[in-house]
Structure 1
Amino acid sequence: MNFEIVYVLICLAAMVVALIYDRMRPGMILFSVVILFFCAGILTPKEVLEGFSNKGMITVALLFLVSEGIRKSGVLERLIFAMLPQKKSTVAGANVRVLPVIAFISAFLNNTPVVVIFAPIIKNWARRMKLPPAKFLIPLSYATILGGICTLIGTSTNLVVDGMIQDAGFKGFSIFELGQVGVIIAIAGIIYLVCFAKRLLPDRTLKDDDIEESSDSGDVVRVEAVLGARFPGNGKTLREFDFHRHYGATVKSLHRNGERLQGDWMNVRLSENDTLILDADGTFIPTWGDSRVFLMLSVLDAEPEMGKKKKYLAMILLLVMIIGATVGELPVVEQALPGLKLDMFFFVCVTTVIMAWTGMFNPKKYTKFISWDVLITIACAFAISKAMSNSGFAAFIAEYIIGMTDALGPYALLAVIFIITNLFTELITNNAAAALSFPIALEVANHLGVSPTPFFVVICMAASASFSTPIGYQTNLIVQGIGGYKFTDFVKIGLPLNIIVFVLSVFLIPLFWNF
């Protein structure tokens, strides 16, 4: 190993440790590593900045705004209310009705707003039906993940991998190409959740008095708030940070890692993803509902709905975006309009601008609806992937992997790439996992002299399959706080699902994309 390989190895190891211990936001951690590579001469200024102008990264940013426009329309709330049984139901019966719908929606919209909208609705419905909410909230998160792997736009990871593929000189994925395998995996995953959620998830209900509906005194409402990265009180206690002075609401309890903190919880230092139960007035949700200070606010009816015309327009725009991107990449359309690339990037740009013009989201506050840390993470992921290739680190790891499994053929190597990517995504983040695995997968394919496409697809599947821990995916963290889950609950139901996705991916991918 030369100096550059050792240097990259040390930096990547430090990055993984920092992500696991969550000392800084993922975007800042990855950006710090990129700067270390830049200082060592492994990356040029152009390579450092390329990720920030990547089409995939910009598409993710605009999809945040499209998701906000659909969220504001209120259509999703009406849909989930219509799907939930209004008479007595079983856990399996309710899940079989809602999970396919949730997965379908998540194939086209960002996972986080889908969970933020649906989680409090499903939790309150479960209480009314006298069913444990814990039987439904992890399946909600998992269904959004399973739906996300079915399309190019279903998760930012797919767009990141697609951007890396195009940067490497290969043709990217079409919008539904990943669905050839993703739909089968999603169906298998949903069947598993329907059959085993009742058995494997806890029976406990949320018994805390302060989580029950608020009293009718005055206009005080009970609000459930999940703290975001921008919450100014992170790192401070509630005695140090005067929540009432800042937000006009009173904190009734603090929940962390699925459990209500007891004792002197006012002296516990707050951190991102903590859940607060608040007594607030009617202005709290309208004031802070669009803010990135909170990941989720569970009072859903405080925000005025769009008019009927805007609702219809929002759904029409979403359909035009999806259908247009699909039809626009057909050879006959590309030949008819050679000067115009009618891909997903084109249609998401047009959709975003129309939504802004028509006020489907607040165009004066549009920056609040974008997760900038996710975008910085994605942009830096491209640079880190490039550094792994430039230094020879990716080739070194690829040779080592091939030396271990060469006799077993490309199927075994496909399995190894899945396992490596999946371990990374459970410990750090999905986009960082894809960044680390992509150059290794490309080098493995080059060494074998086979098509790299099956390896690219397996990265998409493995990087999204974050089921065994709550820390690998933001939607898991959200439902952990509001569903009262322990870490072991994710392991118990998530590990078998990881194995299902692994087996199906390794078996099915070569059937659709030849080596």
Structure 2
Amino acid sequence: MNFEIVYVLICLAAMVVALIYDRMRPGMILFSVVILFFCAGILTPKEVLEGFSNKGMITVALLFLVSEGIRKSGVLERLIFAMLPQKKSTVAGANLRVLPVIAFISAFLNNTPVVVIFAPIIKNWARRMKLPPAKFLIPLSYATILGGICTLIGTSTNLVVDGMIQDAGFKGFSIFELGQVGVIIAIAGIIYLVCFAKRLLPDRTLKDDDIEESSDSGDVVRVEAVLGARFPGNGKTLREFDFHRHYGATVKSLHRNGERLQGDWMNVRLSENDTLILDADGTFIPTWGDSRVFLMLSVLDAEPEMGKKK
């Protein structure tokens, strides 16, 4: 094998290892490999920059802006509040009401903001209804995926592939062309989720003492934080890792696999997917909400503030 083949194989292997260990943002890892190829002369400057001119890529970037504007407007929060039953409901009945709406919204918006908006609202609603949140959150995730396959702009993958098809000289997809197959799949998937979510998903609920008022001060909120692979305290105990010094919040309890740890939980070594219940101020989620340190942040027993009319 010549130098170029060996060099490419080594770089690709290193890229896969870096993605597995998840110590850097995936975009930074991929871009670093492109730069290495460019420095070795394997890629020309034209080839390096060519991907940024892909029509699908540009459309994805613009859709992120549109999605963020809609997310901050408060429109989707009002919609989901109107759809969720306010009286006692069954798991199947609630999913039947919200999943088709979520799939429809996801067909026209990026999946990520849809999940970010709806997950904490649905979780708090399920707690008030004394229903297991897991029976709604996992169907929520799948409903966004199912909705995304129904239109050209439903997912970034559709747009990027459409751009590649056009660059190759073929006619691209129309916006609803994928729906000829996607809608059928989405309907079948939602029916499956409605019928089997209660039977297959775990019965996990938050303890009442995790959602009590954390302080007499109105500036303190109770936050649920799920640790990610990049959390610097992984492998350490809360006695070893000063969470308050790093993040300005106080840890009130530790959950693992849906169960609250009892006893001397401050000496338990933290790991990815552990859940911490925190007392934090109002700046905690805006500061760390977009960080990869936490997989998810949500305020317990609180409804999001609605945005003003734009």
Normalised TM-score (structure 2):
0.81
For 2:180 and 2:218, locate their aligned partners in 1 and report how far apart those are by CA, in whole Å. 54
Q: Secondary structure of 2:269's partner?
A: coil
TM-superposed CA distance for 1:14, in Å, is: 4.3
> Structure 1 residues 8 and 167, CA, compared in 2 at 3 Å: closer, same or farther?
farther
> Structure 1 residues 127 and 161, CA, compared in 2 at 3 Å: closer, same or farther?
same
Q: Which has a greater percent of helix? A: 1
TM-superposed CA distance for 1:46, in Å, is: 1.1
TM-superposed CA distance for 1:79, in Å, is: 0.8
Tell me if structure 1 keeps the 8 A contact 2:150–2:179. yes
| 1:46-88 deviation line (CA, Å, top 9, x unaligned) | 1112122323222222222211111111111111111111111
> Structure 1 residues 214 and 3, CA, compared in 2 at 3 Å: closer, same or farther?
same
Deviating more after overlay: 181-190 vs 208-217 = 208-217
Deviating more after overlay: 96-105 vs 113-122 = 113-122
> Structure 1 residues 79 and 300, CA, compared in 2 at 3 Å: closer, same or farther?
farther
> Structure 1 residues 48 and 294, CA, compared in 2 at 3 Å: closer, same or farther?
same
Q: Secondary structure of 2:226's partner?
A: strand
> Structure 1 residues 257 and 42, CA, compared in 2 at 3 Å: closer, same or farther?
farther
TM-superposed CA distance for 1:115, in Å, is: 1.1
TM-superposed CA distance for 1:294, in Å, is: 5.8
Q: Which has a greater percent of strand? A: 2
| 1:10-34 deviation line (CA, Å, top 9, x unaligned) | 5444433432332432123222332
Tell me if structure 2 keeps the 8 A contact 1:285–1:303. no
Q: With CA pairs under 8 Å and 6+ residues apart, which has the higher RCO, 1 or 2?
A: 1
For 2:218 and 2:6, locate their aligned partners in 1 and report how far apart those are by CA, in whole Å. 65
Q: Secondary structure of 1:105's partner?
A: helix
| 1:329-362 deviation line (CA, Å, top 9, x unaligned) | xxxxxxxxxxxxxxxxxxxxxxxxxxxxxxxxxx
Q: Which residue of 2 aligns with 1:123?
A: 123
For 2:283 and 2:17, locate their aligned partners in 1 and report how far apart those are by CA, in whole Å. 41
Unaligned runs of 5+ residues in structure 2 are none
> Structure 1 residues 178 and 6, CA, compared in 2 at 3 Å: closer, same or farther?
farther
Tell me if structure 2 keeps the 8 A contact 1:226–1:273. yes
> Structure 1 residues 258 and 245, CA, compared in 2 at 3 Å: closer, same or farther?
same
Tell me if structure 2 keeps the 8 A contact 1:122–1:137. yes
> Structure 1 residues 256 and 54, CA, compared in 2 at 3 Å: closer, same or farther?
farther
Deviating more after overlay: 125-134 vs 207-216 = 207-216
Unaligned runs of 5+ residues in structure 1 are 308-515
Q: Secondary structure of 2:277's partner?
A: strand
TM-superposed CA distance for 1:170, in Å, is: 2.1
Q: Which residue of 1 aligns with 2:63?
A: 63
| 1:210-269 deviation line (CA, Å, top 9, x unaligned) | 355646565422122356799787898755665434554222235567665677766778
TM-superposed CA distance for 1:144, in Å, is: 0.7
Tell me if structure 2 keeps the 8 A contact 1:103–1:143. yes
Q: Secondary structure of 1:303's partner?
A: coil
| 1:457-493 deviation line (CA, Å, top 9, x unaligned) | xxxxxxxxxxxxxxxxxxxxxxxxxxxxxxxxxxxxx
> Structure 1 residues 3 and 64, CA, compared in 2 at 3 Å: closer, same or farther?
same
> Structure 1 residues 272 and 105, CA, compared in 2 at 3 Å: closer, same or farther?
farther
Deviating more after overlay: 76-85 vs 10-19 = 10-19
Q: Which residue of 2 aligns with 1:150?
A: 150
| 1:286-316 deviation line (CA, Å, top 9, x unaligned) | 6666778766442399899567xxxxxxxxx
Tell me if structure 2 keeps the 8 A contact 1:282–1:302. no
> Structure 1 residues 210 and 70, CA, compared in 2 at 3 Å: closer, same or farther?
same
TM-superposed CA distance for 1:8, in Å, is: 4.5
What does residue range 241-320 of structure 1 map to in structure 2 within 5 Å? 242-245=242-245, 247-255=247-255, 275-285=275-285, 296-299=296-299
Q: Which residue of 1 aligns with 2:90?
A: 90
TM-superposed CA distance for 1:272, in Å, is: 7.6
| 1:421-440 deviation line (CA, Å, top 9, x unaligned) | xxxxxxxxxxxxxxxxxxxx
For 1:66 and 1:149, locate their aligned partners in 2 and report how far apart those are by CA, in whole Å. 19
> Structure 1 residues 17 and 228, CA, compared in 2 at 3 Å: closer, same or farther?
closer
> Structure 1 residues 240 and 103, CA, compared in 2 at 3 Å: closer, same or farther?
same
Tell me if structure 2 keeps the 8 A contact 1:255–1:274. yes
> Structure 1 residues 240 and 51, CA, compared in 2 at 3 Å: closer, same or farther?
farther
For 2:209 and 2:306, locate their aligned partners in 1 and report how far apart those are by CA, in whole Å. 34
> Structure 1 residues 161 and 258, CA, compared in 2 at 3 Å: closer, same or farther?
farther
> Structure 1 residues 230 and 14, CA, compared in 2 at 3 Å: closer, same or farther?
closer
Deviating more after overlay: 105-114 vs 295-304 = 295-304
TM-superposed CA distance for 1:278, in Å, is: 1.6
> Structure 1 residues 242 and 59, CA, compared in 2 at 3 Å: closer, same or farther?
farther
Deviating more after overlay: 225-234 vs 96-105 = 225-234
Q: Secondary structure of 2:231's partner?
A: coil
> Structure 1 residues 161 and 237, CA, compared in 2 at 3 Å: closer, same or farther?
farther
| 1:196-216 deviation line (CA, Å, top 9, x unaligned) | 111111123223733556465
> Structure 1 residues 140 and 306, CA, compared in 2 at 3 Å: closer, same or farther?
closer
Tell me if structure 2 keeps the 8 A contact 1:73–1:305. no
> Structure 1 residues 175 and 28, CA, compared in 2 at 3 Å: closer, same or farther?
same
TM-superposed CA distance for 1:113, in Å, is: 1.6
TM-superposed CA distance for 1:138, in Å, is: 0.4
| Aligned length in residues | 307
> Structure 1 residues 239 and 168, CA, compared in 2 at 3 Å: closer, same or farther?
farther
Q: Secondary structure of 2:152's partner?
A: coil
> Structure 1 residues 111 and 214, CA, compared in 2 at 3 Å: closer, same or farther?
farther
Tell me if structure 2 keeps the 8 A contact 1:286–1:302. no
For 1:281 and 1:262, locate their aligned partners in 2 and report how far apart those are by CA, in whole Å. 26
Tell me if structure 2 keeps the 8 A contact 1:60–1:156. yes
The two structures, once aligned, show a CA RMSD in angstroms of 3.6
Tell me if structure 2 keeps the 8 A contact 1:237–1:269. yes
TM-superposed CA distance for 1:131, in Å, is: 1.3
